[in-house]
């Protein structure tokens, strides 16, 4: 699917079961390398990033089988320690394979991820963490060779709660000799999920959900089965869709407690939200009110939902403000929103959004994963047809955004 067409101004009604979490399942797939046996993961989303990670696992010798949303990984034999460049270039998060490869094989070869449309995303924190555990890092052009005779528990200090670096350090420490303490660890729900996944394999991890993780190294892991929770970013995107289009929608298969910053924001803007154990209902009548949002590490407002929420603000009443503190390139979608008539002024890492409803359909381009989803949200609040090109970005994180929104009554279709 390379193009999505949206006919706006149709309220949404119905229920969606949210797909499994992309940001949780990718490190779990990488962590399966640590075990010389079989790992089964349930509720795996069928998205491009998952298929890319499957390619990496296959390339190093793992036997993977994805049937529906059930993934079986047999990592009994790992024959290679090099992550092919094509996978690194197409998915920056492939760097998280380095930690488990190093933990099991004491060697990992990868390359610098290269540019990213939403920011630089340096990997220095990853390398610093692996170095603290006893790894040696050698650079040869674009190639990185990480080796260790033995990994030894250590104190690791992060000046910023990097999700990827926390995951890499955590996975490398599981089979290290001794105790590792990660100070300043990221607290995102996906880190908690990874910890629970590893504990289910036999790892010893304390402080789950906190900024201090204590990992007692073990000699080996065992077979396990784990079910991934629903994707809070996908749920947040569909929440934004309801706010943009109006209507009443139930989102199931999620943990509302993991979305509290987003839900509070939506309520302040006028959405009526009811929380249950594993679902939320969202009702939006009339236009959203203006609001100010500042992104930040969990439990603050997630940067991954900055673009979709900005699309809502563009079709709200009054003047809203957005401050981006995580990725300097997240405002790249603003130029596309402006083609729809959005009144947005950017100054450094801040945006002032003067609400205008309805927006006007136009041809726009998805510049990145979440920015593409934001344009779909904006299209729902636009008069006429919005045509979004380069939609392969969206397929990296959403199983089928057209299917889901169409089931709620949206007039939307995907085309090649």
**Residue 341 · residue 359 · CB < 8 Å:** yes
Residue 100, annotated as binding a ligand: no
Helix, strand, or coil (residue 72): strand
Helix, strand, or coil (residue 178): coil
The partner residues of 360 in beta bridges, in order of sequence, read: 383
State the CB neighbour count (10 A cutoff) for residue 285: 11
Residue 124, annotated as binding a ligand: yes
The partner residues of 214 in beta bridges, in order of sequence, read: 181, 206
**Residue 314 · residue 284 · CB < 8 Å:** no
Residue 304, annotated as binding a ligand: yes
Distance CA 253, CA 79 (A): 37
Q: What is the DSSP string of 294-334?
A: EB-STTSB-GGGHHHHHHHHHTSSSEEEEE--S-TTGGGGH
Residue 122, annotated as binding a ligand: yes
Residue 17, annotated as binding a ligand: no
* Among the listed residues 120, 83, 97, the one whose alpha carbon sits nearest the alpha carbon of residue 32: 97
**407 phi, psi to nearest 5 deg:** -65, -20
| Residues sharing a CB contact under 8 Å with residue 404, sequence separation 6 or more, in sequence order | 16, 238, 398
Residue 125, annotated as binding a ligand: yes
Residue 256, annotated as binding a ligand: no
Residue 248 annotated among the catalytic residues of the structure: no
Q: Kindly report the CA angle at 147 between 141 and 149, in degrees rounded to 5?
A: 155
Q: Where are the beta strands (DSSP E) in 80-170?
A: 107-111, 136-140, 143-147, 155-157
* Among the listed residues 261, 257, 262, the one whose alpha carbon sits nearest the alpha carbon of residue 237: 262
Quote the DSSP letter at residue 21: P
136 burial via Cβ count (<10 Å: 0-12, 13-18, 19+): exposed
**129 phi, psi to nearest 5 deg:** -65, -45
Residue 274, annotated as binding a ligand: no
Q: Kindly report the CA angle at 171 between 165 and 174, in degrees rounded to 5?
A: 135
Residue 326, annotated as binding a ligand: yes
Residue 396, annotated as binding a ligand: no
**Residue 374 · residue 344 · CB < 8 Å:** no
Catalytic residue among 116, 265, 391, 402: 116
* Among the listed residues 168, 196, 163, 162, the one whose alpha carbon sits nearest the alpha carbon of residue 180: 168
Distance CA 398, CA 387 (A): 18
Binding site residue list: 22-23, 92, 121-125, 304, 326
Q: Specify binding-site residues for phosphoenolpyruvate.
A: 22-23
Active-site positions?
A: 116
Residue positions in the annotated binding site for UDP-N-acetyl-alpha-D-glucosamine? 92, 121-125, 304, 326
């Amino acid at each position: 699917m390379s193009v999505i067409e949206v006919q706006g101004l149709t309220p949404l009604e119905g229920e969606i079961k949210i797909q499994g979490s992309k940001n949780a399942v990718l490190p779990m797939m990488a962590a399966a390398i640590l075990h010389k046996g079989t790992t089964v993961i349930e509720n795996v989303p069928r998205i491009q990033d998952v298929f890319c990670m499957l390619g990496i696992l296959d390339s190093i010798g793992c036997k993977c089988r994805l049937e529906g949303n059930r993934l079986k990984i047999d990592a009994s034999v790992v024959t290679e320690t090099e992550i092919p460049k094509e996978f690194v270039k197409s998915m920056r998060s492939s760097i998280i394979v380095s930690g488990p490869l190093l933990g099991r094989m004491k060697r990992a070869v990868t390359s610098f991820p290269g540019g990213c449309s939403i920011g630089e995303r340096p990997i220095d924190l990853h390398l610093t963490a692996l170095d603290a555990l006893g790894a040696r890092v050698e650079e040869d052009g674009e190639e990185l060779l990480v080796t260790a005779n033995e990994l030894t528990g250590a104190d690791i200090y992060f000046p910023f709660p990097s999700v990827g670096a926390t995951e890499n350090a955590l996975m490398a420490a599981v089979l290290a000799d001794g105790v590792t303490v990660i100070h300043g660890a990221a607290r995102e729900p996906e880190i908690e999920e990874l910890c629970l996944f590893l504990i289910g394999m036999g790892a010893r991890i304390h402080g789950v959900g906190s900024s201090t993780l204590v990992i007692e190294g073990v000699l080996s892991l065992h077979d396990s089965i784990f079910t991934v929770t629903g994707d809070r970013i996908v749920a947040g995107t569909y929440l934004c869709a309801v706010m943009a289009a109006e209507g009443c929608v139930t989102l199931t298969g999620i943990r509302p407690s993991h979305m509290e910053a987003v839900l509070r924001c939506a309520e302040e803007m006028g959405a009526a939200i009811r929380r249950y154990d594993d679902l939320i209902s969202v009702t939006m009548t009339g236009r959203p009110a203006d609001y100010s949002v500042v992104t930040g590490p969990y439990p603050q407002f997630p940067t991954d939902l900055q673009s979709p929420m900005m699309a809502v603000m563009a079709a709200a009443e009054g003047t809203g403000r957005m401050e981006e503190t995580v990725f300097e390139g997240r405002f790249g979608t603003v130029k596309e929103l402006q083609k729809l008539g959005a009144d947005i002024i950017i100054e450094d890492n801040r945006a002032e959004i003067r609400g205008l409803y309805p927006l006007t359909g136009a041809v726009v381009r998805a510049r990145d994963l979440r920015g593409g989803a934001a344009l779909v949200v904006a299209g729902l609040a636009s008069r006429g047809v919005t045509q979004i090109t380069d939609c392969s970005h969206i397929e990296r994180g959403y199983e089928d955004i057209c299917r889901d929104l169409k089931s709620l009554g949206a007039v939307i279709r995907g085309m090649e």
